[in-house]
Amino acid sequence: MNLYFFPRFTATALAALVLAGSAAAKSIELLNVSYDPTRELYVEYNAAFAAYWKTKTGDDVVVKQSHGGSGKQARSVIDGLRADVVTLALAGDIDAIAKNSGALSSDWQTRFPHNSAPYTSTIVFLVRKGNPKGIKDWDDIVKPGVAVITPNPKTSGGARWNYLAAWEFAKRKLGSDDAAKAFVAKLFKNVPVLDSGARGATTTFVQRGIGDVFLSWENEAFLAVKEFGADQFEIIVPSLSILAEPPVAVVDKVVKRKGTAEVANAYLEYLYSDEGQDIAGKNFYRPVDPKAAAKYAAQFTKVDLFTIDQAFGGWAKAQKEHFDDGGTFDQIYLKN
Amino acid sequence: MKSPRSFRDAATAVALSTLALAPLAGRAQTAPADDISALREQIRQLDQKLRVLERNNELKDEAATAAAQKAVKVTADAKGFGLTSADKSFDLKLKLMAQFDSRTFLDHEGAANRDGFFLRRIRLPFTGTISNVDFTVTPELGANALSSTSTTVGLIDAWVNVKLIPEFNIKAGRSPSPVGLEPGANRHFIESPFVNTLLPNRDLGIEANGSFNGGFVDYRAGAYIGTRNNTQSFSTDDADGDKTAAGRLTVAPFFADKESPLSKLSLGVGASHGNERGSISASTTVTGIQNYVSNGQQTLLAIPGAFVESNAKGNKASGTSIIADGDHTRISPSLEWYTGTPFSLVAEYAVEKQDYLYRRQSAGTGNATTGTVGAVNTRRFDGETTAWRVSTGYVLTGEEATKNGVTPFAPFKWGADSWGAFELVGRLSGVDYAESLYDAAHGGLSPTANATGAFAYGAGLNWYFNNNFRVLFNVEKTKLEGGGAGTAGALSDELYFFTRLQLSF
């Protein structure tokens, strides 16, 4: 059979398919790989974004969530988990993805406003009602007999913020890195359980009843009080803490392959919208937009905050010195 | 072993009991408040230690579970040996199908005694899924011909199927042709019926395939090299350079009603159309047409291919050929009904229409200098061949008859009164070869020396030991129309008793 018509037939069929596809509403699925305590935030935000996107384009978008320790999540993406976007606890974890997988460029942090951090948070202490151990500041949690709950800095972004906040407090108070290292070593001697992520550590402290103080993301502490009642827990704000800037990024390699670049970018951009910022505030994250920040200012205690750049010269440096294999955490924890 | 939680509860109870009994020890009424506080603190510390122990064990379990979920899964079961990645995006399987046949022809009036043992098929399918691509590579070893002195080794299947959406996927490579029913549809009997001799077995090409409404409508459509009937050759069938369009549409009209006995009834029609051309050269003739065989695999109609091109004077060579030379169309409607009960039924019909070229060269005369070139007589004609079959089965032991066979309620076990499953099968089939092949003005074949058609009826018993091993017994009688002792083992009426031992996993 002479199949001269075959290419024409194929072209016509493909054109029909394309036209049929473009005429119908699309159903799009995104995967947001995030860290532990953002579950509630993104459940609410995903619904809001889906409604926004439907109104704007007519397309249905379903955002699947994956949560875990920030470092573990980054490792999963490096190992091939097909995340359209990552919303992790610290820039160092997204840097690691860029460096080790090449799935996004090294300038990813310039893509969105505020260094791609649409909300901030900090580290506070969650103690049991009545604060039976009288914990007020970082000094108090290194005392003998105080059981401290914090996740493993090797796998949890929140734990790394905890670690560095304690380090900087001690350095400022005691005057040297050596003294800070000894201080943090004492702190980790008081840690009886090392969870891999912040949500697991919350379970350890809140539901399993272990420990006297939980070094917690601010939003996670508020959530525990809200969920389990102010008659069980109190939030203690230390004299000094760290400004945590959980960043977001589109995983270019994945969205290019899946054809989801437009919606993935819109998904992260919408975090900066009035609705996105309001949802962040409602979920106890500190909005970066001044209007939303003012709206929710009353729920956050004022605290002296330092940044990772100011105290440690950025995440890359901090990661290498403290958390890479052989860093100060390994020296302290293996010794303990 | 007690769980940490119960251990903690027990220890706490003991500690509390100790605390409660403390007053009885004589100090209670005068015990200082400090002592009681100290005891309470000890209990609190003990409780914390036990909670920590319990939580650390819990974390260890979680880590172990997470590690197990990430681990590659290795399986060895009735479906073969497998490797599956934790996220199931990589799934590889190595399978085996081995068929050992015994053939006994009960009537030896034919040209040759074709009794014997055969390693009919030994296949090692390597199948898998890599991300959204399915693939199969199936090497085959085996020999169908009694006279074969070497083991046939080849690739029976080699294809990839890129899964896009359920309604549209792209498959490329060598796979069962869409014109006929899939190979499993012949499972009632050991050998395929006449219908299969009119259809290609495997074909090489690219196709679109998909399924609508979860299986209500299935389709396959593509361009192939146009393999000859009842063969599975590679690119040699594309020597004419023309492609063949082929496809199949299958509808399961009662698919949605799972309770209905008709839910697994499917009606289909396959078709192909292409331009097939044999070739004749000074050294060889390629007819482009496969010889037609009986259900007992004996040649019924051998297409002559003896013509050899010769322009040399005095060449005494002579011969006749019939080669494919033009349009070749096949249509094959079918019905498959697996009722969800022990009963099953498969019916199939095929018609093929082929354009032929007849060429005959007479012997030359004289010598190479003064002699003559033999006269060449050619003529074009077409012919239509039809075949049909109805196969049915009933599982005596009550199991459901499925497309893949029967899963016994009680797999065979020696001495345990457990015998597996037994299925009675029957088949009627027939074939009518194109009349024009026998017409003196066209193909010129002798209707008395070649079969012009055949009708066969047979019965059998299939014994399923378990999901992996079965033994089949078939008796089938084929009555020939026309016929007589042909040139390639053709025979008078055929009566055979075949047995097959089949192992598959």
Q: Which residues contact A205 (CB under 8 A, 6 or more apart)?
A: A126, A149, A211, A214, A216, A224
Is the CB of residue A20 less than 8 Å away from at least one CB of chain B? Answer: no
Q: Are residues B171 and B316 in the same domain?
A: yes
User: Under an 8 A CB cutoff, do A147 and B48 touch?
Assistant: yes
B34, B69, B104 - which closes a domain: B69
Q: Which residues contact A207 (CB under 8 A, 6 or more apart)?
A: none
Chain B residues within 8 A of A195 when measuring between CB atoms: 59
* Residue type present at position A301: T
Q: Any long-range contacts for B438-443 (C-beta under 8 Å, 24+ apart)?
A: B438/B482, B439/B381, B441/B379, B441/B381, B442/B356, B442/B358, B442/B379, B442/B381, B442/B383, B443/B322, B443/B356, B443/B358, B443/B381, B443/B383
pLDDT of residue A22: 45
| Closest partner CB to A210 (pick from B51, B274, B275) | B51
pLDDT of residue B8: 52
The stretches in chain B having pLDDT less than 70 are 1-31, 108-113, 142-152, 232-240, 483-491
Q: Are residues B218 and B244 in the same domain?
A: yes
User: Under an 8 A CB cutoff, do A1 and B274 touch?
Assistant: yes
Q: Where are the alpha helices (DSSP H) in A39-139?
A: 39-57, 70-78, 91-101, 113-116
Residue A204 distance to chain B (closest CA, Å)? 7
pLDDT of residue A7: 46
pLDDT classification of A21: cutoffs 50, 70, 90:
very low
pLDDT of residue B9: 55
Please tell me which residue of chain B has the smallest CA distance to A13.
B208
Residue A9 distance to chain B (closest CA, Å)? 11
pLDDT of residue B239: 61
What is the end-to-end Cα distance of chain B in Å, rounded?
Answer: 41
% of chain A exceeding 70 in pLDDT: 92
Number of domains in chain B: 2
Res. A2: pLDDT tops 50 = no
Chain A residues within 8 A of B62 when measuring between CB atoms: 200
Is the CB of residue A200 less than 8 Å away from at least one CB of chain B? Answer: yes
Q: Are residues B56 and B148 in the same domain?
A: no
Please tell me which residue of chain A has the smallest CA distance to B164.
A258
Please tell me which residue of chain A has the smallest CA distance to B244.
A1
Specify the range with the lowest mean pLDDT, choosing from A113-117, A160-164, B15-19. B15-19
Q: Which residues contact A294 (CB under 8 A, 6 or more apart)?
A: none
Please tell me which residue of chain B has the smallest CA distance to A5.
B245
B43, B69, B95 - which closes a domain: B69
Chain A residues within 8 A of B168 when measuring between CB atoms: 17
Mutate to test the interface with B, among A14, A77, A210, A213 (most CBs of B within 10 A): A210
pLDDT of residue A26: 77
B22, B44, B69 - which closes a domain: B69
Mutate to test the interface with A, among B44, B50, B51, B70 (most CBs of A within 10 A): B51
What separation in angstroms does the CA of B17 have from each of B6, B28, B469?
Answer: 16, 14, 66
What separation in angstroms does the CA of B319 have from each of A222, B285, B301, B382?
Answer: 97, 11, 17, 21
Q: Are residues B227 and B244 in the same domain?
A: yes
User: Under an 8 A CB cutoff, do B275 and A196 touch?
Assistant: no
C-beta atoms surrounding A276 within 10 Å: 23
User: Under an 8 A CB cutoff, do A208 and B51 touch?
Assistant: yes
pLDDT of residue B489: 44
Q: Are residues B34 and B110 in the same domain?
A: no
Chain B residues within 8 A of A204 when measuring between CB atoms: 55
User: Under an 8 A CB cutoff, do A1 and B55 touch?
Assistant: no
What is the end-to-end Cα distance of chain A in Å, rounded?
Answer: 80
Q: Are residues B171 and B269 in the same domain?
A: yes
B277-301 pLDDT, tens digit per residue, is: 888 877 788 888 888 888 888 888 8
Q: What is the extent of the structural domain holding B65? A: 4-69
Q: Give the number of beta-carbon pairs within 8 Å between A and B.
A: 41
pLDDT classification of A4: cutoffs 50, 70, 90:
very low
Chain B residues within 8 A of A200 when measuring between CB atoms: 59, 62
B162, B133 contact by CB (below 8 A) = yes
Q: What is the mean pLDDT of residues A42-59?
A: 96
A276-332 pLDDT, tens digit per residue, is: 999 999 999 999 999 999 999 998 888 899 999 999 999 889 999 999 999 999 999
User: Under an 8 A CB cutoff, do A17 and B274 touch?
Assistant: no
Q: Are residues B150 and B228 in the same domain?
A: yes
User: Under an 8 A CB cutoff, do A3 and B243 touch?
Assistant: yes
Q: Are residues B186 and B219 in the same domain?
A: yes
Is the CB of residue A210 less than 8 Å away from at least one CB of chain B? Answer: yes
B433 CA to centre of own chain: 27
d(CA A92, CA A89): 9
Is the CB of residue A146 less than 8 Å away from at least one CB of chain B? Answer: no
Residue A334 distance to chain B (closest CA, Å)? 17
d(CA B360, CA B280): 11
Going by C-alpha positions, the residue among A34, A40, A35, A36 that lies closest to residue A227 is A40
B139-171 pLDDT, tens digit per residue, is: 988 655 554 455 567 888 999 999 999 999 999
Taking 3-state DSSP, the helix, strand and coil percentages for chain A, each rounded to the nearest 5, stand at: 55, 15, 30
pLDDT of residue A60: 94
pLDDT of residue B415: 86
User: Under an 8 A CB cutoff, do A208 and B244 touch?
Assistant: no
Q: Are residues B79 and B14 in the same domain?
A: no
% of chain A exceeding 90 in pLDDT: 76
* Residue type present at position A10: T
* Residue type present at position B72: V
Q: Which domains does chain A have, with CATH numbers?
A: 24-120+245-299 (3.40.190.10), 123-243+303-335 (3.40.190.10)
ipTM of the complex, rounded to two decimals: 0.72
Token output for B242: 């023309």
Place of tokens 């392959």: A257
C-beta atoms surrounding B128 within 10 Å: 17
Q: What secondary structure, in 3-state letters, does B470-488 show? A: EEEEEEEEEEEEECCCCCC
Please tell me which residue of chain A has the smallest CA distance to B276.
A1
pLDDT of residue A247: 95
pLDDT of residue B382: 96
Residue A224 distance to chain B (closest CA, Å)? 19
Chain B residues within 8 A of A211 when measuring between CB atoms: 48
| Closest partner CB to B51 (pick from A3, A195, A209) | A209
d(CA B196, CA B198): 5
Burial of B84 (0-12, 13-18, 19+ CB in 10 A): middle
d(CA B179, CA B220): 9
Q: Are residues B28 and B173 in the same domain?
A: no
User: Under an 8 A CB cutoff, do B327 and A195 touch?
Assistant: no
Going by C-alpha positions, the residue among B249, B383, B277, B331 that lies closest to residue A1 is B277
Q: Are residues B149 and B32 in the same domain?
A: no
Q: Are residues B149 and B255 in the same domain?
A: yes
d(CA B125, CA B394): 29
pLDDT of residue A14: 46
Residue A132 distance to chain B (closest CA, Å)? 12
